[in-house]
Structure 1
Amino acid sequence: MPPSTPLPTVRRRRLGAELRRLRERADLSATEAAVRFGVTQSRISNIEAGRYGVSADRVRALARTYDCSDQLLIEALAAMTGERKRGWWEEYREQLPPSLIDLTELEHHATALRVAQVINIPGLLQTAEYARAIFREAVPPPVAHEVEYRVSHRMKRQAILYRDAPPPYTAIIHEAALRIQFGGPVVAKAQLQHLIDISERDNLTIAVIPFGSTSFPSAGHGIDYFHGPVPQLDAAVIDTAHDGAQIDAVAQLERCHMVLDRMESASLKPKPSQDLIHHIAQAT
């Protein structure tokens, strides 16, 4: 049998989706776009579905075909074609859900990240033992090697916070997440100390929503928001009961942005947040 075709990366799928949006704004069908561009309709459809790669020059040519004059967007889309080598996260594709692979790729390419969590410490800020305790709580319970795959993957994801020129990272954490002792008091205390230590990094901001806050603008779902090189290329992942739902529609992204803004406004400033974490750690 011939080797199977690799699944398109989240980056290639997003590029295709944005090219489709440009075509639709130009009020062109895929057939009409193909005629103008001098290719088959199936070629246009496959590019938009992320099944075919496309060069930076072709992206610029398609943008001209679609009468797009936003040069910042065009160049940001062209830059999405540059990578040929797949990321380190691909080695986990057979062991982990596709949504986790997509999440990792979004983190890797984000120019800035903003997350909100109510029950758990955000994944990029977790210790290995805390993450292990979280994964063991899954229903149905995972086998030991599945837990270790997930812990290994989560720890590797955290490298983006320590690389050269790391992206700014803002974590909005509800006090409930600080007080639930996943893994027991020893693990929880070490996790809180890790938050205190890592909050000293220049690229990191931790803001805590205290129990005493009179506002809680969220239904309790976690949000991971990924800023792109231009606002049109932002993305978000919403935690659900079974998986993470990835969104890139403008209206949904605006709503996520508003929710995060309101959650951050309900949070303590970084220094009082750090003091509260320290207080909870001492009492643990």
Structure 2
Amino acid sequence: MPPAAPGPFLRRRRLGIELRRLREQAGLTGDQVIERIGWASASKLSRLENGRSRPDPDDVDVLLTLYGADEELRAELTGITHEAGDMRGWLRNFPVMTQQQRAFAELEAGCAEISEYNPVLVPGLLQTPGYARHRILSAARVAEEAGDPDPEDPETEVAARQARQSLLTHVPRYTAVLEEAALGRRAGPPEVLHEQLVHLCELALLPNVELRLLLRDTRVGDWYLPPTAFSVYRFADPLDPETLAIESGFTDVMSTEADTLNRYKVVYEWLCSSALSASDTLSWLIEATGRLTGTAVESTVAHGPATAPTQRRPDSGRLTTER
């Protein structure tokens, strides 16, 4: 299945990388470029090269002329520039969207592979409306107590998160390591957890989705404890930069730095090799669903305090480190 078209975020990143490469190839510093084309601020070029601003086609054209880009490359980057600025066109893909959810929706668009881990929650792309609502309302209460109420309506946030989940019908490969704690009684009332477990069972049957459960007492690596939630995004076009998103509760960080990416890839390898296999994870989810409905379901999967499973690497989808 082909991935969806890349979003503006990815297009801005790609354009910025190409513009920086062309500038360095031309032997020009940022200050020299600003002086030659007469821009008032050096930060304008910096924002373009770092993908932090919506590119103006005229500005990009001036830079391409200065750098001596050939016609083929100019046509390609001109097209990317228009895609990077077409926020309204891209948002038409979603019935509802919010500022908070848009950042992740932009990053997810155009992915060939997404790998996720969260130490305490079910990842957003896998959450049911009920589970998501409890997460959003609890975070909103924290903001309210801190004197900084969230301006977004919680139900709109839930709907926006659900809109992002259409991604799972067309992303070629999605994998996630789930923590047993994310499905424990602290996460929500029984009916919410039951709905979430049923949903995960359904998702685990999709051919492009692989879920792996990490039992609470299973050792990871040399007693390693992952401190944050994170996601690694790979894109269909190899020239689009592989991206890491780190979730730290109230602040999200994005990075394309190879050294940082490599560390998180190693961690993900450890998590996958310690977690249950995809088939054992489905068995665990089915049994947990049965327990919540009062129905006994036989399973060979251990629960609670248990001996760590034999360390193994996943059969496919291995994240390799690159420099």
TM-score range, shorter chain: 0.7 to 0.9
1:95-147 CA deviation, whole Å, 9 max, x = no partner? x33xx322110112222111111211111111111111111111135679721
Structure 1 partner of 2:143: 140
Structure 2 partner of 1:182: 187
Bigger Cα displacement from structure 2, 77-86 vs 198-207? 77-86
Bigger Cα displacement from structure 2, 170-179 vs 231-240? 231-240
Change (3 A) 1:45 1:90: farther
Superposed displacement of residue 32, structure 1:
4.4
Change (3 A) 1:30 1:103: same
Distance in 1, matches of 2:284 and 2:274, equals: 15
Structure 2 partner of 1:28: 28
Bigger Cα displacement from structure 2, 100-109 vs 185-194? 100-109
1:111-130 to 2 correspondence within 5 Å? 111-130=112-131
TM-score normalized with structure 2 length: 0.68
Structure 2 partner of 1:156: 163
1:103-114 to 2 correspondence within 5 Å? 103-114=104-115
Structure 2 partner of 1:3: none
Cα pair 1:123 1:154 within 8 Å, conserved: yes
Superposed displacement of residue 195, structure 1:
0.3
1:233-278 CA deviation, whole Å, 9 max, x = no partner? 1112111131211112222122222221221111111000111112
Structure exhibiting the larger radius of gyration computed from Cα positions: 2
Structure 1 partner of 2:197: 192
Structure 1 partner of 2:303: none
Distance in 1, matches of 2:253 and 2:67, equals: 32
Structure 1 partner of 2:317: none
1:202-256 CA deviation, whole Å, 9 max, x = no partner? 1100011112422164433111211122276111211113121111222212222
Cα pair 2:14 2:239 within 8 Å, conserved: no
User: Secondary structure of 2:90's partner?
Assistant: coil
Cα pair 1:15 1:77 within 8 Å, conserved: no
- Give the letter aligned to residue 91 of structure 2: G
Distance in 2, matches of 1:171 and 1:76, equals: 34
Bigger Cα displacement from structure 2, 153-162 vs 9-18? 9-18
Unaligned runs of 5+ in 2: 1-6, 293-323
Cα pair 1:172 1:264 within 8 Å, conserved: yes
Structure 2 partner of 1:276: 284
Structure 2 partner of 1:262: 270
Cα pair 1:218 1:259 within 8 Å, conserved: no
1:1-284 to 2 correspondence within 5 Å? 9-19=8-18, 21-23=20-22, 26=25, 28-32=28-32, 39-40=37-38, 44=45, 47-48=48-49, 49-54=52-57, 80-81=80-81, 83=83, 84=86, 85-88=89-92, 92-93=97-98, 96-97=99-100, 100-138=101-139, 139-140=142-143, 146-162=153-169, 165-215=170-220, 217-228=224-235, 229-230=237-238, 233-284=241-292
Cα pair 1:113 1:226 within 8 Å, conserved: yes
Superposed displacement of residue 29, structure 1:
0.5
- Give the letter aligned to residue 190 of structure 1: E
User: Secondary structure of 1:230's partner?
Assistant: coil
Unaligned runs of 5+ in 1: 1-7
- Give the letter aligned to residue 29 of structure 1: T
Distance in 2, matches of 1:262 and 1:60, equals: 44
Residue correspondences, number: 263
Change (3 A) 1:203 1:54: farther
Bigger Cα displacement from structure 2, 231-240 vs 203-212? 231-240
Identity, % of aligned positions:
21
Distance in 1, matches of 2:62 and 2:234, equals: 21
Cα pair 1:31 1:41 within 8 Å, conserved: no
- Give the letter aligned to residue 133 of structure 2: R
Superposed displacement of residue 12, structure 1:
4.5
Change (3 A) 1:199 1:225: same
User: Secondary structure of 2:102's partner?
Assistant: helix
Distance in 2, matches of 1:269 and 1:62, equals: 54
User: Secondary structure of 1:86's partner?
Assistant: helix
Cα pair 1:92 1:153 within 8 Å, conserved: yes
TM-score normalized with structure 1 length: 0.77
